[in-house]
Amino acid sequence: MSRGFVKSWNLANFSENLQADKMVKKSLFLLLFYDHGKIKLIMSDFIKNLKELNKTSTHLAGGKGASLGEMMQAGMPVPPGFVITASAFDRFLAKTDLTQEVEAQLDKVNYENVASVEEVSETIADLIHDAKFPEDLEEEILSEFKKLSAGGLALAKTGGSAFGGDMEFVAVRSSATAEDSSVASWAGELDSYLNTDRDHVLGNVKKCWASLFTPRAIVYRMEKGMRKVKVSVAVVIQAMIQSDISGICFTVHPVTKDKNQMIIEAGYGLGEAIVSGQVTPDSYVIHKDNLEIIDINIANQERKIMRKKEGSPREAGGNHWVNIEADDREKQKLNEEQIVELVKICINIEKHYGFPCDIEWAMTKKLKKWEFFIVQSRPITTL
């Protein structure tokens, strides 16, 4: 057999050797690679490029991953990336003998006792942190990371896009397989880690997995009647946009509920500061029919979140707060032309989905005058 021989096999043919993978669906196909005398198994359902996903992929990629794939296929400006699927997390739990242990811990929770919830959450997080990554899965993740970095560097050389030069850093985001809806929205319940480099990507993937069992996530599942419902978590690995300005767009005004108006919030730096409510952003109200800017409210922003500079101590997140120059604090973050361009993108997203959307966006000015990216879209759950 020569190097590079490839053949597809059904998982059922390998049941004796894959007893640890009982959680993995039997329909999963494996690829066999013969490489210098070694057989390598590549689990094709464990890693998915965003281009392969769409809105029906929630069971594999979670709500966030499926939404990003859907928007990418629809031609929206979504940063490139891949998803470590929920099947990969299920396999990790099975391979490390944690499936039953996690369930046993959750059965111990006394939901009327905060200390009980916190104790179980901490125990599960420690179990996930201490468990060894399956070698084949680790190799696949790092291989995809390398491909993503190489693709970004190629784009940088050709002037293709603004994320090109920063491809050694990625955003690592949790994506729950319980799809966002008007009943249950996982927005903010699970963790994300921005500006993650290769040395920290596997550790941050584990942290995203563990965030399915944070105290607030455990309680959230119980409140929504989902304790015994199968909920898993995928992890989105995406090119990191070092945004100069970022924010949120609601395609229907969330306060007045006027469907003819949308509101954009904008602030300096990474969007985490706005999403977490740690800074007050500008707000712009726009009429959707004629793109008229109805109202502009400029906020005084004194600080922003940015990537740590080279040489500074690097933690898993890699970000820090930076003071904004006094002359820039009270400036309008987006000008009229930029607002209109962003509005057009967000209207297209709403039209594509057919319902009001809560959209997270980022803008950078590295290679072009400016360039917008969409990093998340979900249904508005408060209307």
How many domains is the chain built from?
3
285 in any annotated domain: yes
The closest of 136, 67, 77, 131 to 102, measured between CA atoms, is 131
Q: Are residues 113 and 13 in the same domain?
A: no
Q: In the prediction, which pLDDT does 186 show? A: 59
Task: Say whether both 52 and 187 belong to one domain.
Answer: yes
Question: Is 1 a member of any domain?
Answer: no
pLDDT at 15: 41
SS3 147: helix
What's the pLDDT at 33?
Answer: 43
d(CA 62, CA 356): 20
Question: Tokens in use for 16?
Answer: 């004796």
Domain that residue 223 falls in: 48-239
Q: Do 28 and 52 share a domain, yes or no?
A: no
The answer to whether the CB of 203 falls within 8 A of the CB of 316 is: yes
**Contact present, 375 and 360 (Cβ < 8 Å):** yes
Same domain, 10 and 66: no
Residue 250 · residue 347 · CB < 8 Å: no
Check whether residue 116 and residue 203 sit in a common domain: yes
CATH number reported for the structural domain that contains residue 198 in this entry: 3.30.1490.20
What distance in Å separates the CA atoms of residue 377 and residue 379, rounded to the nearest whole number?
A: 7
pLDDT of residue 311: 53
147 and 292, same domain (yes or no)? no
Q: Same domain for 68 and 198?
A: yes
Residues 29 and 53 in one domain: no
Q: How many residues does the chain have?
A: 383
| pLDDT of 363 | 95
- Residues of the chain predicted below pLDDT 70: 1-44, 151-167, 179-188, 310-317, 367-368
How far CA 231 is from CA of 88, 127, 212, 252, in Å, comes to: 13, 18, 9, 29
Pairing outcome for strands 303-307 and 192-196: unpaired
Is 360 a member of any domain?
yes
Q: Are residues 68 and 203 in the same domain?
A: yes
223 and 273 in a single domain? The answer is no
* Tokens linked to 141: 């993740």
One domain for residues 81 and 220: yes
- Do 31 and 163 sit in the same domain of this protein? no
Cα 5 to Cα 32, 40, 41, distances in angstroms = 8, 11, 12
119 lies in a domain?
yes
CATH code for position 290: 3.30.470.20
**According to the model, what pLDDT value does residue 370 have?**
87
Whether residue 20 is contained in a domain is answered as yes
Which helix (H) or strand (E) element contains residue 130? helix 114-130
